[in-house]
């Protein structure tokens, strides 16, 4: 772990791992994909693949690394929004997962990850960057009642379904909180970018997006029609807002809903 921290310290993002160093920063935490320094983004991705690739392959056979990010919460800030991870493959019925690996112990003080246990794959929702969020009307209740902290030690990793609601608070410690986030997709899956059609919000546009996309494009490409990517067609938008009561009813039936969709032969 000390060797990994040393290699990490040699990386040089444009924001210096603190978005407050840049004008018009999108958030209060550093994220590799949001940094303008493309060379840094490639070096960061290679560092993560070299450090963790073999271990992840052993734990998740049949899956491959699509992309990775370094997330850094500077001391005193770094609050995340409640979210699900973006869909990254064409067939959204096939699970994709995130490996969340901190470089230091995480807990309440430095803003560890919080999740809604059992809340994965029960809502017909495509959580693209341009999507409305089905839980907008009850975010406070999610934080107060449903989102539970997961303390993860340095050297450990948390693996979770990308559809799982998660969130984290400010880093109240005196040191940056550093975490590797690795997106895992099935080995042969078609990887794509989902963008809600700006002219018809009942449809999503699908664009081919391999690993190179995440290393060479920027956030504007996620929010609009990206240049240079192959257009794959459209898909219906199933998203709908839920009330807190509807959300709670789904949570009560979570296992039943998943069993109806995923049957083992």
Q: Looking at residue 23, what is its pLDDT?
A: 82
Q: Looking at residue 223, what is its pLDDT?
A: 83
* Of residues 200, 181, 31, the one with CA closest to residue 130: 200
pLDDT tens string 112-133: 999 999 999 999 899 999 898 9
Residue 264 covered by a domain: no
Q: Looking at residue 263, what is its pLDDT?
A: 59
For residue 159, what is the domain's CATH number?
Answer: 2.60.120.10
Q: How many CB atoms lie within 10 A of CB 22?
A: 16
pLDDT tens string 61-113: 999 999 999 999 999 999 999 999 999 999 999 999 999 999 999 999 999 99
pLDDT class for 16, splitting at 50, 70, 90? very high
pLDDT of 253 higher than 70:
yes
pLDDT class for 7, splitting at 50, 70, 90? confident
* Beta-strand relationship, 63-73 and 203-208: unpaired
| Host domain of residue 112 | 2-256
Residue 209 covered by a domain: yes
pLDDT tens string 17-49: 999 998 888 899 999 999 999 999 999 999 999
Q: Looking at residue 237, what is its pLDDT?
A: 95
Residue 265 covered by a domain: no
pLDDT class for 225, splitting at 50, 70, 90? confident
pLDDT of 265 higher than 70:
no
Residue 182 covered by a domain: yes
pLDDT tens string 149-182: 999 999 999 999 999 999 999 999 999 999 999 9
> Which segments of the chain does DSSP mark as H helices, in order?
2-9, 38-59, 139-141, 211-216, 219-223, 244-252, 254-261
Q: Looking at residue 154, what is its pLDDT?
A: 96
Question: Whole-model pTM?
Answer: 0.93
* Of residues 180, 146, 130, the one with CA closest to residue 248: 146
Please state the domain count of the chain.
Answer: 1
pLDDT of 2 higher than 80:
no
Cα within 13 Å of Cα(77), Cβ side: 11
CA gap 183, 215 in Å, rounded: 13
Mean pLDDT within 8-15: 92
CA gap 32, 69 in Å, rounded: 5
Residue 179 covered by a domain: yes
The region of weakest confidence among 1-15, 58-72, 90-104, 131-145 is 1-15
Mean pLDDT within 230-243: 95
Residue 261 covered by a domain: no
162, 99 Cβ separation under 8 angstroms: no
Residue 235 makes CB contacts below 8 A (sequence gap 6+) with: 194, 203, 204, 206
CA gap 156, 176 in Å, rounded: 18
Residue 263 covered by a domain: no
Residue 111 covered by a domain: yes
Q: Looking at residue 264, what is its pLDDT?
A: 56
Query: What are the E-state strand segments in the chain?
Result: 30-31, 63-73, 97-102, 114-115, 148-149, 158-161, 166-167, 177-186, 192-196, 203-208, 231-236
Q: Looking at residue 250, what is its pLDDT?
A: 96
Q: What are phi and psi of 47, to 5 degrees?
A: -60, -45
pLDDT of 262 higher than 80:
no
Q: Crossing angle for the helix pair 2-9 and 38-59, nearest 10 degrees?
A: 160
Cα 20 to its chain centre, rounded Å, is 21
């Amino acid at each position: 772990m000390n060797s990994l921290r040393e290699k990490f310290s040699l990386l040089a993002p444009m924001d210096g791992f603190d978005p407050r160093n840049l004008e018009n920063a999108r958030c209060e935490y550093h994220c590799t994909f949001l940094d303008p320094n493309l060379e840094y983004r490639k070096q960061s991705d290679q560092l993560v693949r070299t450090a963790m690739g073999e271990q992840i392959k052993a734990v998740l056979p049949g899956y491959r690394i699509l992309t990775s990010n370094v997330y850094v919460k500077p001391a005193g800030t770094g609050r995340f929004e409640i979210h699900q991870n973006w869909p990254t493959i064409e067939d959204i019925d096939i699970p994709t997962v995130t490996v969340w690996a901190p470089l230091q112990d995480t807990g309440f003080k430095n803003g560890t990850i919080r999740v809604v246990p059992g809340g994965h794959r029960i809502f017909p929702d495509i959580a693209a960057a341009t999507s409305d969020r089905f839980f907008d009307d009850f975010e406070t209740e999610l934080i107060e009642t449903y989102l539970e902290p997961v303390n993860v030690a340095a050297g450990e990793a948390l693996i979770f379904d990308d559809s799982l609601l998660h969130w984290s608070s400010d880093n109240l410690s005196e040191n940056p909180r550093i975490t590797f986030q690795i997106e895992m997709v099935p080995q042969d899956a078609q990887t794509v970018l989902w963008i809600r059609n700006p002219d018809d919000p009942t449809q999503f546009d699908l664009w081919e997006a391999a690993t190179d996309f995440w290393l060479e494009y920027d956030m504007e490409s996620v929010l609009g029609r990206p240049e240079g990517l192959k257009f794959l067609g459209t898909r219906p938008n199933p998203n709908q807002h839920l009330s807190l009561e509807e959300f709670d009813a789904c949570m009560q039936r979570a296992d039943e809903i998943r069993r109806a969709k995923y049957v083992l032969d």
